[in-house]
Amino acid sequence: MTRTSQPKIVNKLKDLPIEERPRERLLMKGASALAAAELLSVILGRGVPGESVISLSSNIISRFGDLNSLSKISVEEFLPIKGMGLAKACQLVAAFELARRISGGSFIKSKIYANSADIYKLIKPYLMSREKEHFLIVCLDSRRRLISIENLSIGTVNQTLVHPREVFKPAIVKAASYIILAHNHPTGDISPSLDDMQITERLIEASRVLGIPILDHLIVSDGNFLSFKDEEYIAG
């Protein structure tokens, strides 16, 4: 009776021919030649006893469906996966965060940010593909050039999380002349809520006292935005 040979299961990366190992393939052919699981393998570095890093990477992608879904996963959500310790989880989250920021293009600190479209391009990488609301402030100098982008809170934007003291603290420390507010709506609906309107008005009142004008407040989704200034919720 003839036995059909079974394919060998690779549990260790060293069992693969050198030309098939992700890091070596990257060096020989460039990162663009690697599949998603191979790129993930390079970031993770190694697997666990009984499972190669390639197998671990493939399982992670299969579990969450695709890279876009994977990019939204938190450190805590990675931890229950066998082979994903704290260090590996942090590496993946950090890698996706870098990719998210780079995807919008690099910002230019000498550029004058004078309209909502330019601000949207600037902050979109910080806010896209988020499952929770993130609240940012953009600090500008007297010529409306970028000083910094500050992520102040994560979670539903409300009176507790977005306090004037926390909003204006980085602006004061960095000697900003103007600030712009921005937050995302994970639902994709960019219509301002009652809370959005009330918080904006509260912060504008504080800005008058402190002498640091709020130029705009942007509500952002992955593919669109609303400007309070353009909609005349904020006086020009």
| pLDDT tens figures, 58-74 | 888 888 887 777 887 88
End-of-domain residue from the set 69, 102, 135:
102
Does 232 reside within a domain? no
Distance separating alpha carbons of residues 69 and 63, to the nearest angstrom: 10
Q: What's the pLDDT score for residue 4?
A: 47
Q: What's the pLDDT score for residue 181?
A: 96
End-of-domain residue from the set 102, 136, 168:
102
Query: Does 214 lie in the same domain as 126?
Result: yes
The residues near 65 (Cβ < 8 Å, ≥ 6 apart) are: none
Query: Does 219 lie in the same domain as 126?
Result: yes
Q: What's the pLDDT score for residue 176?
A: 96
At position 80, the amino acid (one-letter code) is: P
pLDDT band at 107 (very low <50, low <70, confident <90, very high): low
What would the pLDDT profile of 130-148 be if each residue is shown by its tens digit? 888 889 999 999 999 999 8
Give the count of domains, the chain.
2
Alpha helices in 128-230 (DSSP H): 164-173, 194-210
Percent of the chain clearing pLDDT 90 (strictly above):
35
pLDDT band at 179 (very low <50, low <70, confident <90, very high): very high
At position 145, the amino acid (one-letter code) is: R
Mean pLDDT over residues 172-194, rounded? 93
Q: Indicate which CATH number applies to the domain containing 123.
A: 3.40.140.10
What would the pLDDT profile of 71-82 be if each residue is shown by its tens digit? 878 889 888 988
Helix (H, G, I), strand (E, B) or coil at 128: coil
Query: Does 123 lie in the same domain as 171?
Result: yes
**Does residue 184 contact residue 148 with C-beta atoms inside 8 Å?**
no
Q: Indicate which CATH number applies to the domain containing 30.
A: 1.10.150.20
Q: What's the pLDDT score for residue 158?
A: 54
Does 2 reside within a domain? no
Does 234 reside within a domain? no
List the beta bridge partners of residue 140. 146, 178
End-of-domain residue from the set 102, 137, 153:
102
- Tell me the CB-side half-sphere exposure of residue 79, using CA atoms within 13 A: 7
Mean pLDDT over residues 3-14, rounded? 48
Query: Does 76 lie in the same domain as 17?
Result: yes
Q: What's the pLDDT score for residue 34?
A: 83
Name the residue with higher pLDDT: 1 or 196.
196
Does 187 reside within a domain? yes
Tokens 């990488």 — which residue?
Answer: 125
Q: What's the pLDDT score for residue 6?
A: 43
Name the residue with higher pLDDT: 155 or 189.
189
pLDDT at residue 11 is higher than 50: no
List the beta bridge partners of residue 145. 112
Does 97 reside within a domain? yes
Pick from 222, 95, 112, 101: nearest CA to 178? 112
Question: What average pLDDT does the chain have?
Answer: 84
Query: Does 132 lie in the same domain as 94?
Result: no
Region at 155 (left for phi over 0; alpha for psi -120 to 50; beta for the rest): left
Q: How far is CA 105 from CA 2, 36, 174, in A?
A: 60, 22, 24
pLDDT at residue 195 is higher than 80: yes
Distance separating alpha carbons of residues 75 and 73, to the nearest angstrom: 7
Q: Which residue range(s) make up the domain with 181?
A: 116-227
Pick from 22, 60, 21: nearest CA to 42? 22
**Does residue 44 contact residue 92 with C-beta atoms inside 8 Å?**
yes
Kindly report the length of the chain. 236
Q: What's the pLDDT score for residue 220?
A: 93
Query: Does 120 lie in the same domain as 57?
Result: no
